[in-house]
Amino acid sequence: MKKIIKYVLLDLLRNRIIIAYTLFLAVISLSVFNLEDNPSKGILSLLNLVLIIVPLVSIIFSTIYVYNAAEFIELLVSQPLRRVNIWLSIFTGLASSVCMAFLVGCGIPVLIYAPGDTGLMMTAMGLLLTIVFVAIALLASALTRDKAKGIGVAILLWFYFTLIFDGIVLFLLFQFMDYPMEKPMVVFSCLNPVDLARILILLKLDMSALMGATSAVFRSFFGNQLGIVITIGVMLAWAVTPLWWSVRKFNRKDL
């Protein structure tokens, strides 16, 4: 298992897409912090980058990599190796490489220019989102053998989590505006890892007013240590659940 992880990790660290992704994040991060006098404004400017670009690159790149490595995976399956170990090794190598790219390109500049709780939260949420969307990518690639369909599923899932979900929430708020929807909104937020990351970062920036009428409820639930621990637990569940599902699919898959 360690040899597979090492091979995948070294292969990906030499990948031009990973190198370009790292440089892109570094250029954007350094540019934003050098243009802004206030580090908090810099983090707020980087928020959309973390919430949109990081999930997009993580899910699309990981899906394409798994399909391109189909022959390598078939070779591993033909060896006396457990399928679950093969799949988890590929996930670990993929997640580690994309996380390292984010950490070098965005995490380190954030921690240099905005050391403290806010910078740590931004970096932690970026890493967690990376892991979550790599896990979702493996599920998308395990669901179908067709590369085009798999990439299409990955794009639709990214589109849902970053754009469509918020539209559904706004629609529900509008339809049930005469009812107290503050507490249900906390539950709805747990159904989307991108929303959870956004809420925690905005609370650390003390900009909960940007979350509208439900900001007081969000602050009371997510603003304390217990709320943060629960939120991180939910984020980890978002990574473990699709990974576990993809392992089951891969175990039953006819290669």
pTM over 0.75: yes
- Whether residue 211 has pLDDT greater than 60: no
Is residue 215 a contact partner of residue 230, using CB atoms and an 8 Å limit?
no
Identity (one letter) of the amino acid at 65? Y
Q: Where are the domains of the chain?
A: 2-252
- Burial per residue of 200-223, b for 16 or more beta-carbon CB atoms within 10 angstroms, e otherwise: bbbbbbeebeebeebbebbbebbb
Alpha helices by DSSP H, 160-212: 165-175, 182-189, 193-204
Which residues are CB-contacts of 36 (< 8 A; sequence separation ≥ 6)? Answer: 42, 45
Which residues are CB-contacts of 220 (< 8 A; sequence separation ≥ 6)? Answer: none
- Whether residue 213 has pLDDT greater than 50: no
Looking at residue 202, its pLDDT comes to 82
Looking at residue 21, its pLDDT comes to 95
